[in-house]
Amino acid sequence: MGSKALTILKYLLTLIVGIGLLWYLVNSQGPVAKANIIKGFENANYNWIFLTVIIAILEKVVRAYRWNLLLEPTKHKPPFKNTFLALIMGYFANTFAPRMGEVARCYILKKSDDVPVETSFGTVVAERAVDTICLLLLIPIALLLEYSIIMDMLQKAWIQISDTVSKSYWIGIAGLVLLAGATSLLLYFRKKIKNNAFFIKIENFVQGLIQSILSIRKIDKKGQFVICSVAIWVCYFFMTYIAFFALEATSGLSLTAGLIILIGGGMGMAAPVQAGVGAFHYMVSEILMNVYSVSKDWALPYAFLVWGSQTATILVAGFAAWILILMLDKKKNLTLDNADLQENTRSRKPEAIS
């Protein structure tokens, strides 16, 4: 089986997992779950949802500006419009293939501004690392605000993890044996591998990647970078909290509830499935039902409403960005053709007068 076929199979499997989880969520809540989801969409106050969409677009603007800050130390300074369009296209690609967007936006920036892929990808990895740190920092804050609730959630999660580990004991042992065997083979053939042309290419790519990640220390505008990082997560929080007011059943939830849902939803979106499908719905609905006693008739509709509105925003914005990129690329090619024509005209020797 070819590499392309394996890639397609991998994406199909992740999509099947996400859809399967979504199917389980809907069907496990009884025959009225589908009707409740439709009812939730019909009765929602879309003024609040529209406000979350505006905040989502603002978050993408701030994120694109922060990406420019990360690119500056690499001596590449693409125009803001190019980084913004590449970023939107990245989110658009992630809707169809998990983690494909991180690579896609780097290739778009390579085409528009000749930024090496390993350079821009290094900044994307650094960006994701910062976002992960921000998400992890929210957990102790949430723990201070909702200690009893968080501890109850952790205890339930630990019980589930313990059960899973006990059932998969021999699988874990087999995995360790395979890992040890693979490591031994790599050590045995390390000299041949190091001289392999493909390995050298990978090594050069990784070195460029590491240098780009380390470039975060060389950012001149560190204050702006920190402010942008905080602003991104403030936007995420208000996108979650404001959506509470769209449904009557969730309109009375507190600010701390918004923080807990943000953390749970963030973990769901980090799952390796297309646009967090299924995983986001599961995390958000479970927290609403088990922690904040929101009726199951409204917990899942809230998750669908938030996920659906944000995904629709990405799809519309991504399609618009794709059109703009095609138009800009066509204009760029026309400009280059005209420049070549003028250069050829100037370089042409005047014909001799007969």
Q: Which of 86, 131, 68 is nearest to 269 (CA)?
A: 131
When divided into structural domains, the chain yields a total of 1
Please report, in angstroms and rounded to a whole number, the separation of the first and last CA atoms in the chain. Answer: 69
| 21 domain residue, yes or no | yes
Domain with 287 in it: 3-163+173-334
| 346 domain residue, yes or no | no
Are residues 291 and 260 in contact, defined by beta-carbon separation less than 8 angstroms?
yes
Tens of pLDDT, residues 151-204:
776 666 566 555 555 555 555 566 667 777 777 776 776 767 667 766 666 666
| 208 domain residue, yes or no | yes
Would you state the pLDDT for residue 354?
39
| 311 domain residue, yes or no | yes
One-letter amino acid at 332 equals K
| 239 domain residue, yes or no | yes
Would you state the pLDDT for residue 59?
96
Are residues 83 and 71 in contact, defined by beta-carbon separation less than 8 angstroms?
yes
Would you state the pLDDT for residue 253?
93
Q: What are phi and psi of 229, to 5 degrees?
A: -65, -40
| 225 domain residue, yes or no | yes
Count CB atoms within 10 A of the CB of residue 111. 14
Q: Which of 304, 311, 239, 301 is nearest to 275 (CA)?
A: 311
Would you state the pLDDT for residue 352?
46
**Greatest extent of the chain over all pairs of C-alpha atoms, in Å:** 99
Write the Ramachandran bin of 275: left for phi over 0, alpha for psi from -120 to 50, otherwise beta.
Answer: left
Q: Which two tokens stand for residue 38?
A: 């439709």
Distance CA 48, CA 58 (A): 15
* pTM, 2 dp: 0.74
Report, as ranges of residue numbers, the positions in the chain whose pLDDT lies below 70.
Answer: 1-34, 153-176, 186, 189, 191, 193-194, 197-215, 332-354
